[in-house]
Structure 1
Amino acid sequence: MTLDGYFEGASPWSLDFHTVVWGEELEAYSLEQLDEVGTLLFGRRTFNGMAEHWSNETGAIADRMNAVEKFVATREGRAAEWSNSRILHGDISEHVAELKAADDKKDIFVFGSADLTATLLKREAVDEIRLCLVPIVLGGGNPLFRDDGIRKGFRLLEARPFKSGGVLLRYARSET
């Protein structure tokens, strides 16, 4: 996320600023994080973009992204055509509660998916937020957090600076 709060530029998949912080440290963290994932949860647009990208990639991150269980929250009835993927219809917060309750589940991660994240935050279905703050001001784009008039409180769990200038921030949900 940029210093001014955007996770993508003005057009969909405008992510060139991510290269500013990408390097060995963030790659190692990405692999570490993917080892914690039991399930990935996406909105339809993010799912389509991630599927298109990762289905054609190779390497350790691609192997994990392609192997992990994935769900896509969508109102569309189309199939999820990425490996180990399924469609979720209906109330997403109920689906998340069911996924959390499963004994064999590791963590559920949402990558990107600002609209889905906004819905989950509104329904208090988010336990932790992880951001990599990129030292860039875009001046416009797609904000990660929506202006919905609802206050949300978080407490800092970790702040990890990277040599690239990026900072990993981990927050747990707390009372406001």
Structure 2
Amino acid sequence: MRKLIMWNLISLDGYFEGEKKWDLSFHGLVWGKELEELSLTQLRSADYLVFGATTYQGMAEYWTNAPEDEGDVAKFMNSLPKLVCSTTLQSANWKNTTITKDAVKEVTKLKNEGSGNMFVFGSGNLSASLMKANLFDEYRICITPIFLGKGNKLFQEGIPNIPLKRMETNSLSSGAVILRYTPETD
């Protein structure tokens, strides 16, 4: 069975995007060799990427035109199968992309069909829906050492109470802390 894993970089006060759309400038505080290696390790374990429409459109625009220094990360991002969950998106031009209108149904189906990892990047609204359906097997959050004060919060009001069990914490030389949790099972 595939595992569904949330992976996001957030500010200490919980924002995954700054005040303006696609303001990810705070990522530069922690991006470096350590985080690049972690990203590659995660992408090597992935056999699917899952996005909401807004995140998908931004990622597709960036990665299909990625600078050469993005190297292996770009190769993985462009070659892995992708699922975009949207009730409005009519077409997808990024290689290996499937569109679904029913995220919960399609993600459940994909989890049962494979054995690798599926990663959700960004996608706050989609993540909330998948949390409400109890579909995440793991939460991997990179806390960046900054308070943004405003922006787009990753964890929205109305998500369910989900007790978690800590799997691992890892401090990076940049000051970032990577948290790994899995939902607590009875």
- The question of a shared fold, defined as TM-score above 0.5 by the shorter chain, is answered with yes
Superposed CA deviations along residues 103-137 of structure 1, whole A, max 9, x for unmatched, are 4x411110000000000001101111111100000
Whether 1:61 aligns to 2:110 is: no
Whether 1:34 aligns to 2:43 is: yes
Candidates 12, 22, 25, aligned match of 2:31: 22
Change (3 A) 1:149 1:56: closer
Candidates 91, 94, 98, aligned match of 1:79: 91
Q: Equivalent pairs: percent with the same residue?
A: 41
Candidates 142, 153, 174, aligned match of 2:163: 153
Aligned to 1:93: 104
Aligned to 1:8: 17
5+ unaligned residues in a row in structure 2: which ranges?
A: 1-9
Q: Which has the higher contact order (CA 8 A, sep 6+)?
A: 2
5+ unaligned residues in a row in structure 1: which ranges?
A: none
Superposed CA deviations along residues 67-108 of structure 1, whole A, max 9, x for unmatched, are 000010000241111011110122x111111101114x4111
SS at match of 1:121: helix
Distance 1:140 1:89 in 2: 30
Distance 2:41 2:160 in 1: 32
Task: Output the amino acid matched with 1:81.
Answer: N
Distance 2:19 2:143 in 1: 18
SS at match of 2:180: strand
Deviation at 1:149, TM superposition (A): 5.8
* Greater mean deviation of Cα atoms: 44-53 or 92-101: 92-101
Query: What is the TM-score normalised by the length of structure 2?
Result: 0.90
Question: Contact 2:49–2:82 (CA<8 Å) still a contact in 1?
Answer: yes
Deviation at 1:46, TM superposition (A): 0.1
Aligned to 2:137: 127
Task: Output the amino acid matched with 1:93.
Answer: V
Task: Output the amino acid matched with 1:97.
Answer: T
When the two chains are superposed, the root-mean-square deviation of aligned CA atoms in Å is: 1.3
Distance 1:138 1:53 in 2: 23
Distance 1:116 1:89 in 2: 11
Deviation at 1:150, TM superposition (A): 2.6
Question: Contact 1:9–1:15 (CA<8 Å) still a contact in 2?
Answer: yes
SS at match of 2:166: strand
Query: What is the TM-score normalised by the length of structure 1?
Result: 0.95
SS at match of 2:16: strand
The list of structure 1 runs, each at least 4 consecutive aligned residues, that deviate by more than 6 angstroms after superposition, is none
Question: Contact 2:128–2:159 (CA<8 Å) still a contact in 1?
Answer: no
Aligned to 1:116: 126
